[in-house]
Chain A
Amino acid sequence: QQQVRQSPQSLTVWEGETAILNCSYEDSTFNYFPWYQQFPGEGPALLISIRSVSDKKEDGRFTIFFNKREKKLSLHITDSQPGDSATYFCAASTEGADRLTFGKGTQLIIQP
């Protein structure tokens, strides 16, 4: 059973548009949700994160919206740039735990 699910698997948007990446989870004890960005040939890098006490986290063009009741969250990337083209991983963990549970990722392509 996959604990963290991401959709879509692949997404293409035009430069300047808003890209929306979705994530859902199963385990209600999860309370920390980081998003990692990975470029080809590199390791994942932390982009933005949110804790379950919040319903929104914003950092520049990147915003996480979190719905605890539905166990869903989404990453919005406004004014998409070609340099945002990457794979985005949603992850989750529980307070006090040292492991992150990752989704399979969404491959985002920004068309100029």
Chain B
Amino acid sequence: GPKVLQIPSHQIIDMGQMVTLNCDPVSNHLYFYWYKQILGQQMEFLVNFYNGKVMEKSKLFKDQFSVERPDGSYFTLKIQPTALEDSAVYFCASSRDRANERLFFGHGTKLSVL
């Protein structure tokens, strides 16, 4: 079935550095999302993106976070600078319609900030 690919699967960086998480969504999907999951906790919504714009973001989406999808390429989450509390698994998802329909998730990128 349709797949969302996330690159890399694991990223280790030093606190204060910049990191970019990449997501290749399902090809005909129009809505894109990032969710954050701290170990042992629930997945939490960060942001959704449609038609080149952030549509909604949560309070977890700090000023250091940004998203973009230039020219239909990867949908990216950039964190600059990173903090220790950014360590988590980040899941990218996409959907053809809204989140009230079917979300397709990637395998996640585990981010470790040292």
Chain A residues near B (Cβ < 8 Å):
2, 4, 32, 34, 36, 41-46, 89, 93, 95-105
Chain B residues near A (Cβ < 8 Å):
4, 31, 33, 35, 40-45, 48, 55-56, 58, 91, 93, 98-100, 102-108
Give the number of residue pairs across the A-B interface with Cβ within 8 Å. Answer: 57
Instruction: Choose among B55, B58, B99, B104 the residue with the greatest number of A CB atoms under 10 Å from its CB.
Output: B99
Chain A residues within an 8 Å CB radius of B31: 98
Write 22 A-B pairs (CB below 8 A) sorted by A numbering: A32-B100, A36-B105, A41-B107, A43-B4, A44-B91, A44-B105, A45-B104, A46-B102, A89-B43, A93-B100, A95-B100, A96-B100, A97-B99, A97-B100, A98-B48, A98-B56, A99-B45, A99-B99, A102-B42, A102-B43, A104-B41, A104-B42
Chain A residues within an 8 Å CB radius of B42: 2, 4, 89, 102-105
Chain B residues within an 8 Å CB radius of A99: 45, 48, 56, 58, 99
Chain A residues within an 8 Å CB radius of B58: 99
Chain B residues within an 8 Å CB radius of A32: 100
* Residue in A closest to B92 when the chains form the complex, CB atoms: A43
* Residue in B closest to A9 when the chains form the complex, CB atoms: B40
Give Cα A93 to B93, complex, Å.
15
A101 lies within 8 A of B108 (CB): no
Give Cα A41 to B89, complex, Å.
11
A43 to chain B, nearest CB (A): 3
Contact partner of A43 (CB less than 8 A), chosen from B45, B99, B102, B108, is B108
Give Cα A93 to B102, complex, Å.
12
Give Cα A95 to B31, complex, Å.
16
B105 lies within 8 A of A100 (CB): no
Known contacts A4-B42, A43-B107, A104-B42, then 16 further A-B pairs from the complex at CB < 8 Å, ordered by chain A residue = A2-B42, A34-B103, A42-B107, A44-B91, A44-B105, A45-B105, A46-B103, A89-B42, A98-B33, A98-B55, A98-B98, A99-B58, A102-B35, A102-B43, A102-B44, A103-B42
A100 lies within 8 A of B107 (CB): no
Give Cα A44 to B4, complex, Å.
11
